[in-house]
Amino acid sequence: MTPLSSSDLLEDEDGVDYVDPGQRRPRRLTDRRLHKPKVDKWTARFSLTERPNPERDVHELILSHGLDVTSEERAYLLEQLSPFHGAKLITSVLRRVKGGKEANVYCCAAHPATGLDLIAAKVYRPREFRNLKNDSQYRQGRPLLTANGQAVSPKDWRLMKAIAGKSRKGLQATQASWVAYEFQTMKRLHDAGADVPRPIRNSEHAILMEYFGDVALAAPTLNLIALEPDEAPALFQRLLRNVELILGQHVIHGDLSAYNVLYVDGAIKIIDLPQIVDPRTNPDARAIFNRDMERVCQYFARFGVQANPRAIAHDYWKRYMTTNGEIHA
């Protein structure tokens, strides 16, 4: 396996290194085996989790020693994730997988009642939320959702005014909708058979989902690994099948790239869905779809997969249009 060199970092159309806004520049890895945990999961978990304190309320969510978070982040995590503890979904937060600008993802110990071992918690940060991903392009033509996935009526003029005025209440509603889109879409796509994590529960600021990886190390995103030439074509085809299946559900990812696809034991899982667009209602859908395909093809081209992103996008779009004629051209 060849190491990823600096020129292997994805570049956007202007020749500038493309770094997902939610990710720091990746570590370069020389070998996928580096993603194998060095200690077994129970040893790792035991070392991360605080010993039970008899004086402590056993009903409390446990934040591990290894979390290395500020007291502010601790308080925010407790506030956001305790309800999931109360709902018997998670028992402790073991480590931070990734600190993005928009959200942090944590590896949590699952509550025994779930039958799972680990659960990923994606926790959005409210204060910094607004200045980051330029979400107005994505929000075009999609109704505002409440945390439980109900569309807010545009006749709710008080709320609409709050959103337009970017008041606290308005920003809260916009963020809850952003998170709800990620959760609802994950659910819909998972049910349709797409390679996305199984969603578990959401709130206004957080999503619990199936976790990929081990306590010590989460599954890497594609940009962090160099694929073998013989596995690249099959993974590319798998990703394309997902793109088509997802489009059939009236969904365009909107930020699809090697940064938002996990490599899980030779398979893929598409993540990071809050910005999805509906091709039936978003006037920029076609351009967004083209960009998704370009980024995907750019990554696979590095491992010898020759593909024309425009032609693929055109082909999928045409087929989609044939069955959904009323959408924007």
Ligand X SMILES: Nc1ncnc2c1ncn2[C@@H]1O[C@H](COP(=O)(O)OP(=O)(O)O)[C@@H](O)[C@H]1O
List interacting residues with ligand X (CB under 6 A).
Answer: 20, 22-23, 97-98, 100, 102-103, 105, 120, 122, 197, 209-213, 218-219, 221, 260, 271-272
Work out what residue 211 binds among ligand X, Mg ion, none; the CB cut-off runs from 5 to 8 Å by kind. Answer: ligand X
Smallest distance, Å, CB 315 to ligand X?
A: 27
CA angle 214, 218, 219 (to 5 degrees): 105
How many CB atoms sit inside 10 A of residue 136's CB? 7
Binder of Mg ion out of 102, 195, 214, 272 (CB under 5 A): 272
Smallest distance, Å, CB 35 to ligand X?
A: 11
Q: Under the criterion CB under 5 A, does residue 278 sit at the interface with Mg ion? A: no
Which of residues 272 and 294 has its CB atom nearest to Mg ion in the complex? 272
Q: Given the rule CB under 5 A, which of 9-17, 201-209, 237-245, 253-261 is the region that contacts Mg ion? A: 253-261
Work out what residue 122 binds among ligand X, Mg ion, none; the CB cut-off runs from 5 to 8 Å by kind. Answer: ligand X
What's the burial of 173, exposed, middle or buried (CB within 10 Å: 0-12/13-18/19+)?
buried
Picking from 106, 107, 94, 91, the residue whose alpha carbon sits closest to that of residue 59 is 91
Distance separating alpha carbons of residues 81 and 291, to the nearest angstrom:
35
Q: Which two tokens stand for residue 45?
A: 């978990």
Work out what residue 219 binds among ligand X, Mg ion, none; the CB cut-off runs from 5 to 8 Å by kind. Answer: ligand X
Which of residues 103 and 116 has its CB atom nearest to ligand X in the complex? 103
Distance separating alpha carbons of residues 146 and 149, to the nearest angstrom:
5
Which of residues 123 and 312 has its CB atom nearest to ligand X in the complex? 123
Q: Which two tokens stand for residue 249?
A: 């559900």
Distance separating alpha carbons of residues 122 and 216, to the nearest angstrom:
17
Classify the C-alpha dihedral 286-288-289-290 as positive or negative. positive
Work out what residue 108 binds among ligand X, Mg ion, none; the CB cut-off runs from 5 to 8 Å by kind. Answer: none
Which of residues 211 and 317 has its CB atom nearest to Mg ion in the complex? 211
Smallest distance, Å, CB 211 to Mg ion?
A: 15
Q: Given the rule CB under 5 A, which of 13-21, 55-63, 110-118, 148-156 is the region that contacts Mg ion? A: 13-21
CB distance 223 to 243 below 8 Å: no
**Pairing mode of beta strands 90-99, 62-63:** parallel
The amino acid occupying position 164 is A
Which of residues 272 and 278 has its CB atom nearest to Mg ion in the complex? 272
Which of residues 104 and 260 has its CB atom nearest to Mg ion in the complex? 260
Distances, alpha carbon 141 to alpha carbons 97, 144, 282, 325, in Å: 33, 10, 5, 17
Binder of Mg ion out of 202, 260, 282, 298 (CB under 5 A): 260
Smallest distance, Å, CB 51 to ligand X?
A: 26
Which of residues 20 and 195 has its CB atom nearest to Mg ion in the complex? 20
Q: Look up tokens 């159309």; give the residue.
A: 13
Distance separating alpha carbons of residues 118 and 188, to the nearest angstrom:
22
User: What residues line the site for Mg ion (CB under 5 A)?
Assistant: 20, 22, 260, 272
